[in-house]
Structure 1
């Protein structure tokens, strides 16, 4: 064949055809394999780079199986912890049942003693108190300068002072003719007080809070109210309220003298003794009203200042004011305060309420013994009833009288009322109250603590309203006598790890204890509780938390002491007495609890996957890259009952009382906390592992994509190349055929 000589054109066409065939073969190979680099000869750099990327991708893909197993191991551990939590909750429920069941003892260890008269509100007792004393503010008398202290003889009232009117003309205008017998009502021109000034039916005067009422007609024809009496033209109730009967225009009745008597009755200058419908009017204090040369003179009396309110025309007609008209005016006259009287006299109508008894201060002289109400008695300026309520009569009554009335109310002094109306004092439950350096030294008595309130100015005038004069009550506390517990102390050493206590019984203030609630508040930190029954038996026992403990024992503590043990006889504390039924019920709960604890053991053992159990203390190691340098070690924890601090309970020891049960509950709560912490740790690690799993998957994709970018062919481009090369090959074949045709022409010539 080497001797065959091809023409230049044939040879050129043949070479072109061969080149096209090679290119077409290469293109067809790329289309068939999908790669443009199939061997190192195609592109050494891309071939070996892609091979490295594929190798790394394969290595990481092999690690994904281990990572996936790690995820399942962590999920299994999480499921196991969830189950353990449910078991712990079940155990808690059983422990709470124990707390809600009977305490397990019929009688808890205790000490008890009887406090006579003690109640839940007042543990001190009420039958063995001694009287105490309380001092008022220093009171001064009326001596000029206001610094002279009172004595027991200082009067509660003051000295009478006159109110002198002006000369009042008669109805004819003649001056200085106001006389005792002058009629108050008359026809025009008759002897009246300025004529038009005369009162009419229904008019009133108010004198020291008492009412003087004017009525037409006569007293004899009037209906006599119960308890009232008639004296001439007057009907009075004996308490200063009076009705003046005017008669008629044709037959006037009342006189200025009648009106003056009515004013004196109201002011306390005069008094009226009511008997069988009659009223006997007599002098009481001060000076009776007088009329001389047309001048009306009144006095205050000693028990109250004088205050008169009425129509101006009437009071003008009496010469007591210069005002005129039908409107009311008020005329006053104060008493004189002297060294013999209080610097602030007690007001009429004031009261003191002493331990529920009432002392009333009245502007009058005390009645005679024969005239006091049945069952009452009079002594000096005091009238007392059989119940300890008193009236102190301000006309002549002294500080001593006021103190006697207070002592009668408190029982500090005893008293008796004889059949003749005489009040006799005798020894009571305290020392008689007295004046000491100008202050009232008041005895409380023993019946109750002292409480004094009042109306009017009695509290202030007697120095019982505090230093500022604004206090509304005066109080004092009795002293506890032999057998009482006020002032006594009670101590207990630490009981079952509690706080030692020292308790002082008192009125409930300044840290003292009065009520059962206050006592229990003091005992609670030392795990003790107190109760008291209707007979005053105070029992102090172990609380439910430590019902199995023995008070006063060397092991449990709670030894009693203090001064109260000398005043009262306490029982010896004995061990608690078990309740068989309650103990059996609690033992059954212990059995149920132990069954749950056993399930914790088996559950933690069953929480394995592929041979790894994180709840049994195994360690999980995960590798995240092909070099083995990126790893995660997850160390498991043995979540057995022992690892969780949950020992098996013992019947008769555990759940035996609330304290034992609470210890178990505390251990369960700690176990729950441990499980939650471990679950959080595993959850955090699971998140890390899942993140690395996703990262590995993405990395494999990146590596494979990078490798593909280096070696994969563009099928669209290669298909176009194949089509173009096919066309080119056809053209080359045609060209070769044309070149061969020239040689065939030469062959024709030879033929």
Structure 2
């Protein structure tokens, strides 16, 4: 409005008020935003420098999140290794326990437990991942941690593979063979008979018996083989005769002084016939039944029943000991036979042996062994089913477990110790990586804080200072308003001339 003329004093006061209003506006903005530099117009150098510092802090904050996730991935792997180490130590304890026993069956059970632990180790390794990254699961799980904005500072953590314990590059622990079962059995037969030697005693000569001369032969046959005893050569006295018969496989012989009889028992699974043939040479003799009577003595063998006492068979006598041993010559059990021991008792005894199962049917004992077993007796007639039978031991030959011998177990212990060394090495490696990432995380947090403080120093307003400025400006504004009023009053005094 060029036609209106203000005095210089008024104009000066108006300008002062305008400047004060501008400063008040600036101060109010700073108080409202907390910033003394809100845009590049306020202070280009401070604004862009602070923006650069805040941008870097933001970039590092994003990396800090990744570092935090990397720490959790490393911790998950470390937790997995710690637990796997405990399982491997448990496997070592199992192997050491196996060394404390010679029982092949118990060692087989330890081998089974060992394999179960290896399965748990593999499962543990598979479960040690975090957000899809598993440092215990091998290739494809490499962990890269970036520490700065341009990726020039980083750390790569290579994975191991414990999800398969057999890997040579991992734990190198293979499942143990647990062996296999074996079957066998034996028959229980019994039969009895007698040979009458009238008026003879154990010390008598056989030739004292009517019709017996030197050179005669006693023939004992079971249908598949024949034993021949020559009088004067193999047998001379009655006691010689008893001993020779008793020495035959599956035959028990004793002399009854009261009845003048040789009493015979058999455990063979076939009938026995006994005859004495005539001497073809000089001397008078006659064929007999192996005793004083004519004809043939036949001892009929039959299958035993569950309730029969064992001593009815020529394969058992009171005082015999039945012994069970395994493939390591460990003796899990033995049974002493007495007059009352039945077939059922024998079967129950064998069933009580861990790893051995026995059933009885139609005169036959069937055996199933989870490991190798030998059933034997101190009676040589046990399980000799023919006159020509050899060893009577009943053998069950099963495939052995990998814990059968001390050497097998020692070999496994060596592998376990190597696996523990591998786990400790991996734990140290992961621990170093974890420590590095945690240290860099702390450093990054501190650096972000430093950058943000530096940026704040450039653009953040001092509230105390701005508050004081606002108070001063308000006072100035009031004074300027008063001055303007006074200046206007000076101009208004002219009006008094027209009064």
- Find the counterpart in structure 2 of residue 750 from structure 1: 498
Query: TM-score scaled to structure 1, two decimals?
Result: 0.36
Structure 2 CA distance for aligned equivalents of residues 8 and 593 of structure 1: 106
What does 1:24-63 align with in structure 2 at a 5 Å threshold?
Answer: 24-63=24-63
Of 144, 155, 165, the match for 1:641: 165
Note the alpha carbon deviations across 1:689-727, whole angstroms, 9 max, x for none.
Answer: 000000110010010011001111111111111111111
CA contact (8 A) 2:108 2:401 kept: no
SS at match of 1:42: coil
Shift in Å, 1:603:
0.6
CA contact (8 A) 2:67 2:437 kept: yes
Query: TM-score scaled to structure 2, two decimals?
Result: 0.54
Shift in Å, 1:585:
2.1
- Find the counterpart in structure 2 of residue 358 from structure 1: none
What does 1:165-176 align with in structure 2 at a 5 Å threshold?
Answer: none
- State the number of aligned residues: 272
Of 105, 115, 124, the match for 1:584: 105
Note the alpha carbon deviations across 1:64-106, whole angstroms, 9 max, x for none.
Answer: 111011111111111101111111111111111211111xxxx
What does 1:109-148 align with in structure 2 at a 5 Å threshold?
Answer: none
Of 607, 610, 615, the match for 2:136: 615
- Find the counterpart in structure 2 of residue 675 from structure 1: 423
- Find the counterpart in structure 2 of residue 2 from structure 1: 2
- 2:438 corresponds to 1:690: yes
Structure 1 CA distance for aligned equivalents of residues 465 and 94 of structure 2: 78
SS at match of 1:733: helix
Q: Larger Cα Rg: Structure 1 or Structure 2?
A: 1
Structure 2 CA distance for aligned equivalents of residues 705 and 638 of structure 1: 45
- Find the counterpart in structure 1 of residue 115 from structure 2: 594
Task: Choose between structure 1 and 2: higher helix proportion.
Answer: 2
Note the alpha carbon deviations across 1:646-677, whole angstroms, 9 max, x for none.
Answer: 00100214111101100000000100110011
Structure 2 CA distance for aligned equivalents of residues 725 and 95 of structure 1: 89
CA contact (8 A) 2:403 2:409 kept: yes
SS at match of 2:461: coil
Structure 1 CA distance for aligned equivalents of residues 28 and 401 of structure 2: 90
- 2:239 corresponds to 1:716: no
SS at match of 2:99: helix
Shift in Å, 1:29:
1.3
Note the alpha carbon deviations across 1:13-55, whole angstroms, 9 max, x for none.
Answer: 1111111111111111111111111111111000000000000
Note the alpha carbon deviations across 1:203-229, whole angstroms, 9 max, x for none.
Answer: xxxxxxxxxxxxxxxxxxxxxxxxxxx
Structure 2 CA distance for aligned equivalents of residues 49 and 658 of structure 1: 75
- Find the counterpart in structure 2 of residue 628 from structure 1: 151
- Find the counterpart in structure 2 of residue 563 from structure 1: none
Structure 2 CA distance for aligned equivalents of residues 20 and 47 of structure 1: 25
Structure 1 CA distance for aligned equivalents of residues 121 and 143 of structure 2: 22
Note the alpha carbon deviations across 1:250-299, whole angstroms, 9 max, x for none.
Answer: xxxxxxxxxxxxxxxxxxxxxxxxxxxxxxxxxxxxxxxxxxxxxxxxxx
- Find the counterpart in structure 2 of residue 735 from structure 1: 483
Q: Which runs of 5+ in 1 are unaligned?
A: 103-581
Shift in Å, 1:747:
1.8
- Find the counterpart in structure 2 of residue 252 from structure 1: none
Structure 2 CA distance for aligned equivalents of residues 91 and 20 of structure 1: 85
SS at match of 1:632: strand
SS at match of 2:402: coil
- Find the counterpart in structure 2 of residue 499 from structure 1: none
- Find the counterpart in structure 2 of residue 164 from structure 1: none
- 2:184 corresponds to 1:660: no
Of 603, 616, 641, the match for 2:124: 603
SS at match of 2:38: coil
SS at match of 1:65: helix
Of 177, 188, 195, the match for 1:650: 177
Structure 2 CA distance for aligned equivalents of residues 97 and 20 of structure 1: 93
SS at match of 2:157: strand
Shift in Å, 1:743:
2.0
Structure 2 CA distance for aligned equivalents of residues 586 and 733 of structure 1: 106
CA contact (8 A) 2:111 2:401 kept: no
